[in-house]
Structure 1
C-alpha cells in the first residue's frame, strides 16, 4: 500500500457508515433537518443490479411521505396475489390459488417488487433535494475510539474514527454477477441496461493511486455496514444465532419458458424441491432455488464455499423442479448463493451514541421479502431521532426508544423467517403438496400485520403515551399510540382536491398536531374547536401554546409542530374561512396556508376518497378528537380537545423548550 499523501482532522455531528438503503434512509433525515453529517461507503458505486427487491406496504407509505413513491409505482411490479404449484398423486403439477390478502386495501399501496438499486437512486435524489450531503465512496473506517466520560455532554464529540480513502486497486463495486470477486464495473452493465439517471454513477470516478487518511470526531455514529459490520465489532456487540445446512441459489433472469405462471408470484413444489418465483421489472424474474446441502455435522458458523455454486447449477435445479415445463434463459442480470441463517444482536446501540441498523444487527434468509424493508425502517426510525437531538430541538432521552422499538420487530422477523424458510427446506413427499400450501398460507396470514407494517407494536416510552388499557381507546379503535396513522384519502377544504394522508404528513422532521374537528356545523363542537384554537394561538391565560413553547430548527420551520385539521362536515357545506385563523395561518408573501384544513367527505370523481376516514379510525364524526403524530407518522399521543395539559406534558418529555418559553 502506498504511503498516505494527506492526513487531516475534522468534526461532524453524525457519521453514517454504509450507504445501503438503511444508511441512505438515515442520511435523508440529516438532509431534511440540516444536520452536519457524513456518510461513507467502501464500494465505489451504488448498487445497480441484484440484492433486495421486495417492498412492503409500510415502506411504500414511507416513500410517499418522502415524495418518491410515484417513481416506484411507475417502475415496479405489483405483487398482491400468489399461486402455489404442487404435485398431484400422478406426479403432475397443478395450480392452487390465487391467494390474496384479506387486508389488501388497508393502505393506498400494494406490495411491490423493484431492484434495490432503483430504491437507492430515489433516496440519493431525495437527499440531494434538501442538502449537499453526498455519499463518500471508496472510504473505509479503520480505527475507533470512544471516550465514555464525554457521553453525558450533549455538545461533546466522544467518538473518534480514522477514515481511509481506498486506492484504485482496493476499491470494490457492488452488484456484480455473483461470486465473491468484485469488479470495478459490474459485469455486463452498460447504458443499454441501466436507466439514464444511473449513468453518471456507472463509471467509477478517477482516483488517486495513493490513499488518504482522515481523523473524524463525531457526536453520533450510525453503523449500516452489513452482516459483517465493522461498527458492531468495534463496540463489542455480538450477532447471535446460527446457520442451517441448506444452500440456496438466487438468479435474476429474463426467462424463456412455457411455465404459465412465470409472471405471477408464487411457489413450485415437487420431489426435487421448492422454487420461489418473483416477477420483476423489465421482464426480469427472480428465482430462489435450493442447490446444495452441506454437512449438517460440520460447524454451522463456517461459511460455505460460494465458488462451488454456478449459474448453470442453479438453472439445472430450476429445470428439474419445473418439469414437465421447460426453462432456459439468455439474459442473466445477477445471481448469488447464500446459506440460510437467522442472527440478531442482543442490543442495537452502545450508550445511545453508537447505533446499528439493518443487517448489522439482524440477518435472515431473503425469501420473506422483508430485509430491505426492515433495514430502511431501522434507518428511518433512528435517523429522525438523532437528527432532532443533534439539531437541539429534541430530548436525548428519545434515543433510547430506537432499541426498544426496533429490536422486538427484528425478533419477529427472525421468527417469521424460521417458519417460512422451514417450509422450503422440509422434505415432504409429493402427495403432501396441498398440505404444504395450507401451511404456507397459514404462516403468511399469521405474520401479515407485522410483515406489511400494518402494526408496529411500539410500546410505551417518552415517544408513545400508552393507556393503561389499550382496549379502551380515548378516541377510537383505529388510533392507537405506537401504531401508524391509518391512511385515508381526504379532500382539501380550499379547492376540493384529494390527497392521501401519507403524503399530507410529509417526512420533514416535524410533529403533527392533528385536530379531528368533527362536525363543525354543530354549535357545541364549533365552540370546542375555537377554544382549542385559542390555546394554540396563546390566548388562554397561563397556558403557553405548543407552537411557541419549543425550540425550532433555524432556517427550516418556525415551529417544530404543524397543525393539521380534518373535519367531518360535508365539503360543500363548509368554508375554509369558517375555521379560526391559527388553523390556516397567513404568510405575508405566500398568503393563506390552504394545505392545513382537510375534509373527510366523499368525492364523486375519486373513488378512493370515500368519506369514511372517521369510521376507519373509529372516531365519532361529531365530537372528533386530537392526536400527535411523530415525524415518522406513528401516533404518539391521543386525547380529547380539553386535554391540553396532558398534551403539553407529552410534548415536554420529547421536545426542548425554547429559550423564550415559559
Structure 2
C-alpha cells in the first residue's frame, strides 16, 4: 500500500522534499536508504493526478540507476520493453535504428511506463523504507536562519493542508524543491528561470487503439507535412501514445478550442495513410513548447532544485523524466554523505555544476529537435529550406544517441572526478563499460554495473593484471588496505578485486587474500576496456552513482590521497 496522506507531525528532518512526483519520491527513497531522515510533501491529491499519462520513456542509463537502487524489478513487470524503432514516410518505411543500436548495457532497450505507474511504485518503495509522505500539502513559505548551525535545523517551512486549511511548520537542515516547472521553492528562493516558450503546440493522447500500421509495437514516427513528426509510442498495458504538432492551420479548424474528440480526430488524421481506431482514450493534453533553465540549482548549498523545478524542455527527445532522475541520483548520494559528515562540502557543490552542464547540453539540442519535429527550420539553418527538415532531425538524433540513452553522459574533472594517474580509456566522470566477469567456483557470468550497484558507497576496484608481474605492488597495497579498513571512511567504501588470473579459489589465483570479493577477468577484456595493462594492473575508484571518479596504479598511497581529499 502507498503511504497515507495524513498530516505532518511537526518533526525535524534532515531533508524536506517539496514535490511528490517521481523525482522527489526517488530522491527521498535514496536518502532514507542512506540513513537520512526525510519527509516528502506534495500539494496535489495523487488519486486525481494519477489519471494523467505524462512521462513514459525510461532510457538505459536511467534503468541502470534504478537497478542500483533495487527499483527496477516492479517496473520491468509493468512496463513495455521496446527494442525496435520505425519511421514511415508516405506509408513507406524509412531506416531508423535508434533502439537497435543500444549496446554495452544489460538494459539494451527503452522501458515505456506511464508516470502514474512509476509514481505508484516509488510511493510503495518509499513506504517500505519508512519515509514520511503527505499529499494535499502546499508549501507557502520557508525561511533560512544562517546564524543557526546545521545541527539546529535552520530551515523552517510552512505548509497548508489543502483540505482543512490548517498550517504546519517543519524544520530541516536542507530543503529540496522537486515541485515542477512552476516551483514555489525556486520562486521563493529568488532563483531566476531563464528561457522562452515558442508558439508551437503539441498534443499527446493515450489509449487503446487498432491500426493497420505494420510494426505497431515499435517506437516510431510518421513524417507528416501537416502534423509534424508524429510520435507513435507503444505503452504499458497494451496502450499506445500518439503525439503530433497542433499547428495554427489545424487550430483554425476548431474555433471552439481543443476537446478530447478534437485530439482524437486529429490523431487519426495525423496517422494517415494508416488507419487508426480508438477503442479507449485514457488521457490527452495540449501544451506549448519551450525551454527554461534555473540560473542555479542551489542556494547556499542548503536549498536545492531537482527535475522540472530546475529545467523544462520539450518532450521531443523524451528526456524530461530521465533528466530529473539523473538529477535525483546525482544529488542523493552527495547530500546523504554530506549530512552524515562523510564528505567535504565541495562534493555536494559538484551537484550544481555537473547537472547544470548536462542540462545545458540537453536544452541546446532540444530547441532544434522541437523545431524540426514541428516541420520547421531552426533559425541557424542556412541550407535549402525547400528540403525536408526531417533529414536534419534524423542526423541530430543519430549524433546525440549516446546522450539520449544516458550511457554517454559524462562530467568534467572536478573535486570528485580527479585526473587519472594512469592514461585510462575511461575518463573521470564518465560511465565505465558494463563488462562481463565471472564468479569463483560457479563461473557464473556477472556484469560490472551489477557488482558495483551499492549506490551509497564508493568502490575501489583492484585490477590485478598478471599476478607474476604485479605481486609485489599487490602485497604493498595489502598493507595499506589493512590500515584503511580501520579508518572511519571504511563505512563509505567497498573493495572488489578484478583478477586476470583464475583459480579454484581467489586466494590461490592471487597467492594472497583478495581485496573484497573477487571476480575473474579470464579474457582480460575488463583490463583492456579500462586501459589497465596486464604488466601493471591498476585501481579504479567508482563513485556511488557508478561513474569513474579516478584511476591509478596499484598503490595504497594513491587510494589514501584520493579519499583524504574528498572525505572528512
TM-score, normalisation: structure 2: 0.90
Residue of structure 1 in register with 2:28 after alignment: 27
Residue of structure 2 in register with 1:3 after alignment: none
8 A contact 2:83–2:100 mirrored in 1? no
- Please state how far the C-alpha of 1:126 moved relative to its aligned partner: 3.7
Residue correspondence of structure 1 range 582-621 to structure 2 within 5 A: 583-584=515-516, 596-601=517-522, 612-621=525-534
Query: Which of 408, 413, 421 matches 1:460?
Result: 413
Residue of structure 2 in register with 1:162 after alignment: 158
- 1:646 partner SS: helix
- Please state how far the C-alpha of 1:571 moved relative to its aligned partner: 5.4
Residue of structure 2 in register with 1:213 after alignment: 167
Residue of structure 2 in register with 1:500 after alignment: 447
Residue of structure 2 in register with 1:291 after alignment: 246
Query: Which of 510, 514, 534 matches 2:479?
Result: 534
Q: In structure 2, how many angstroms separate the alpha carbons of the residues matched to 1:411 and 1:505?
A: 29
Distance 1:530 1:276, change over 3 A: same
Q: In structure 2, how many angstroms separate the alpha carbons of the residues matched to 1:122 and 1:238?
A: 33
- 2:336 partner SS: helix
Asked if 1:549 corresponds to 2:487, the answer is: yes
Asked if 1:312 corresponds to 2:261, the answer is: yes
Distance 1:401 1:243, change over 3 A: same
Residue of structure 2 in register with 1:627 after alignment: 540
- 1:531 partner SS: helix
Residue correspondence of structure 1 range 168-179 to structure 2 within 5 A: none
Q: In structure 2, how many angstroms separate the alpha carbons of the residues matched to 1:315 and 1:67?
A: 38
- Please state how far the C-alpha of 1:7 moved relative to its aligned partner: 9.7
- Please state how far the C-alpha of 1:329 moved relative to its aligned partner: 0.6
Residue of structure 1 in register with 2:119 after alignment: 120
Which stretches in structure 1 are left out of the alignment for 5+ residues? Answer: 1-5, 88-92, 168-209, 297-304, 468-472, 539-544, 552-557, 585-595, 603-610, 657-662
Residue correspondence of structure 1 range 33-432 to structure 2 within 5 A: 33-45=34-46, 47=50, 49-87=52-90, 93-100=91-98, 103-110=101-108, 111-129=110-128, 131-150=129-148, 153-167=149-163, 210-274=164-228, 275-293=230-248, 308-427=257-376
- Please state how far the C-alpha of 1:443 moved relative to its aligned partner: 0.6
- Please state how far the C-alpha of 1:494 moved relative to its aligned partner: 4.4
8 A contact 2:462–2:515 mirrored in 1? no
8 A contact 1:8–1:215 mirrored in 2? no
Residue correspondence of structure 1 range 630-649 to structure 2 within 5 A: 630-642=543-555, 644-649=556-561
Q: In structure 1, how many angstroms separate the alpha carbons of the residues matched to 2:165 and 2:508?
A: 61
Q: In structure 2, how many angstroms separate the alpha carbons of the residues matched to 1:560 and 1:74?
A: 32
1:437-462: per-residue Cα shift (whole Å, max 9, x none)? 43222111221222212233312222
Q: In structure 2, how many angstroms separate the alpha carbons of the residues matched to 1:448 and 1:324?
A: 29
1:251-271: per-residue Cα shift (whole Å, max 9, x none)? 111112212243221211233
8 A contact 2:98–2:401 mirrored in 1? no
Distance 1:48 1:571, change over 3 A: farther
TM-score, normalisation: structure 1: 0.78
Q: In structure 2, how many angstroms separate the alpha carbons of the residues matched to 1:573 and 1:386?
A: 39
- 2:450 partner SS: helix
- Please state how far the C-alpha of 1:582 moved relative to its aligned partner: 6.1
Distance 1:135 1:566, change over 3 A: same
- Please state how far the C-alpha of 1:309 moved relative to its aligned partner: 2.0
1:30-75: per-residue Cα shift (whole Å, max 9, x none)? 1111111111111222736511011111101111211232333343
Distance 1:306 1:63, change over 3 A: farther
Q: In structure 2, how many angstroms separate the alpha carbons of the residues matched to 1:25 and 1:116?
A: 13
- Please state how far the C-alpha of 1:307 moved relative to its aligned partner: 9.2
- 2:14 partner SS: strand
Distance 1:371 1:525, change over 3 A: same
- 1:583 partner SS: coil
1:444-487: per-residue Cα shift (whole Å, max 9, x none)? 122122221223331222211035xxxxx71521x221112221
Q: In structure 1, how many angstroms separate the alpha carbons of the residues matched to 2:464 and 2:96?
A: 42
Q: In structure 2, how many angstroms separate the alpha carbons of the residues matched to 1:386 and 1:582?
A: 32
8 A contact 2:538–2:553 mirrored in 1? yes
Q: In structure 2, how many angstroms separate the alpha carbons of the residues matched to 1:24 and 1:353?
A: 19
- Please state how far the C-alpha of 1:80 moved relative to its aligned partner: 3.8
Residue of structure 1 in register with 2:491 after alignment: 559
8 A contact 1:79–1:112 mirrored in 2? yes
1:119-171: per-residue Cα shift (whole Å, max 9, x none)? 22333344444x31132122121211122334xx342422111122221xxxx
Asked if 1:525 corresponds to 2:470, the answer is: yes
Q: In structure 1, how many angstroms separate the alpha carbons of the residues matched to 2:233 and 2:521?
A: 38
Which stretches in structure 2 are left out of the alignment for 5+ residues? Answer: 1-6, 378-383
Residue correspondence of structure 1 range 507-518 to structure 2 within 5 A: 507-518=454-465
1:509-566: per-residue Cα shift (whole Å, max 9, x none)? 111111111233x2x322322221111112xxxxxx2x33335xxxxxx621111111
1:160-197: per-residue Cα shift (whole Å, max 9, x none)? 11122221xxxxxxxxxxxxxxxxxxxxxxxxxxxxxx
Q: In structure 1, how many angstroms separate the alpha carbons of the residues matched to 2:102 and 2:211?
A: 30
- 1:628 partner SS: strand
- 1:537 partner SS: helix
8 A contact 2:218–2:233 mirrored in 1? yes
Which range is displaced more, 562-571 or 246-255? 562-571
- 2:151 partner SS: coil
Residue of structure 2 in register with 1:181 after alignment: none
- Please state how far the C-alpha of 1:426 moved relative to its aligned partner: 2.6
- Please state how far the C-alpha of 1:103 moved relative to its aligned partner: 4.8
8 A contact 1:262–1:279 mirrored in 2? yes
- 2:491 partner SS: coil
8 A contact 1:462–1:650 mirrored in 2? no
Q: In structure 1, how many angstroms separate the alpha carbons of the residues matched to 2:74 and 2:480?
A: 41
- 1:451 partner SS: helix
- Please state how far the C-alpha of 1:403 moved relative to its aligned partner: 0.7
